[in-house]
Amino acid sequence: MQRRVAAIYFVFFLLLGASAYSVIAVAEQPAVEMSGEAYTNGSQLSAGDQQYTVLVEMAESEGDGHGGGGGAAPVGEL
């Protein structure tokens, strides 16, 4: 009796795994598109009667001594 139940569970989980894999196999990666303008370093833009220049730089920061933080982070100015 226990062997039958074990065999039924084995087949059930095998079918469950195969169906999950088939869903993964047919899935497609979504396409991401963002509308609007893209600004790069040094780009100029105007809003109303104001003219702006985009400047982006990387700033190094220190960790707080507890094993986290630190590294380069973008610092932007508009």
Name the nearest CA neighbour of 75 among 60, 53, 65: 60
Of residues 65 and 4, more confidently modeled: 4
Domain ranges, residue 31: 2-77
Say whether 38 sits in a helix, a strand or coil. coil
pLDDT tens string 24-41:
878 888 787 777 777 787
Write down the pTM of the prediction.
0.34
Number of domain units in the chain: 1
